[in-house]
Structure formats: structure tokens, C-alpha cells
Amino acid sequence: MTKRDEAVGALIDELRHQGIDEDTVLSAIRSVPRADFVSLLDRQAAYANRPLPIGEGQTISQPYIVALMTQAAGVGRGDRVLEIGTGSGYQTAVLAEMGCVVYSIEIRPALARRAAKLLDRPSWATHLRTGDGNVGWPSAAPFAAILITAAARGLSPALAKQLRPGGRIVAPLGDTDGVQRLVVYEKDADGRLEQTDLGGVRFVPLVSD
């Protein structure tokens, strides 16, 4: 067994202990090489269950948060997912590894270019765009899930409109300079959003034009 296998195995055990029990999510976390999405200086810590810097004041989320958001989204193979904030591309890769068709928007061009190179794999169905994620991707809607990977004070009406009935939005909402709440919105058949609070989190602020 390699050091990577040992580190990944320990991470999977920790995620199970933290309540991640969807095998498809854990399998994707196991398969996607997180070390590819962090800086060379942080490679040794790639499978530690904590966030790491990726430049431009941004971070790659800790694996637990990635797994929690993915599990909360309730998506699977063939589902169309919108991600607001590509960042390193790691969350995108986990969704793509599960067989989702991922549309991801990043406002920072340098991060977008770097992620595009990492996500260029024939087995991953990813569509990337540089721009303001608050407007969403109307031409690709409706989505089975929308994941927002940066903190906002409220939910964009444009994003809510692009969610299909039965779909879910997973987003950190609240004070963008402090602790937020990780919220899941599920759209019912009448278009109403039912809210579930998954607890406190800390994300970098969502940037818009």
C-alpha cells in the first residue's frame, strides 16, 4: 500500500465518522487525486481533512465540506449540476467523477484557467465559464442541483429560478466576514423552496461583478 493509499484510506474513515455515508460520494473522494488540485508546497497535506490555500486569497475546501455538500445535493450519474465558484476545480472533479454533468463558473480568470487544465479529462463531463456566478447559466438550466462554494448574504433569485422542481441548492449563507450557515433549499412542485440548516461553516466571500 502506498503512502497515498494510506492517507486516502484514513481520510475516508474520518469522513464516515463525520456522517458521510453515501458510497458514491466516498468513492469519488477516494478516486479524485486531491493532490493535483493543491500547490506543490501543500502536496504532503493534500489528504488532510482541512482547507488549503490555492492563491488569490482563495482556498480548496476541506474534504469533509466537499463531501457534505455533495451528499446534501443528492445527485448522481447523468444529473446536471451548476457550481458557482470553480476555485481549484476539486469540487467540480468530485461531482464529475460521480457521473454528473457539471457546469461551473469562476470569476477569477487565473483560477479558471488553472482549473480548466486539471478538469480536462475525457471521463469527466465538465463545462466551464469565467464570469459572475450570480447570474447562473440560463441556457443550461434547469439543474438537478446548484452548489455555491463561497459565502453570500442571500440566495440569488436568478439561481433559484434555474433549479428544477425536486432539485436542491446547497449554499453557505450569512455574514461573509465570519461564520455562515450551510443551507439546503429543496424546490417543491409549486416552486417553493424548503430550507434545511446543516450547521455552521466558514467560506471565503462570493464575488460578483
Hey, where are the domains in the chain? 3-201
Res. 209: pLDDT tops 70: no
pLDDT tens-digit profile of 111-165? 999 999 999 999 999 999 999 999 999 999 999 999 999 998 899 999 999 999 9
CATH number attached to the domain at 3-201: 3.40.50.150
% of the chain at pLDDT higher than 90: 86
Q: Say how far apart CA 63 and CA 206 lie, in whole Å.
A: 20
Residue 118 in grid coordinates: 486539471
Residue of 27, 39, 61, 88 with catalytic role: 61
| Start-to-end C-alpha separation, the chain | 47
pTM, full prediction: 0.95
Res. 1: pLDDT tops 80: no
Which ranges of 119-173 does DSSP label H, i.e. alpha helix? 157-161
Phi, psi (deg, nearest 5) at residue 73: -70, -25
For 4, what's the count of Cα atoms within 13 Å in the CB-facing half-sphere?
A: 10
Active site includes 104? no
Res. 176: pLDDT tops 80: no
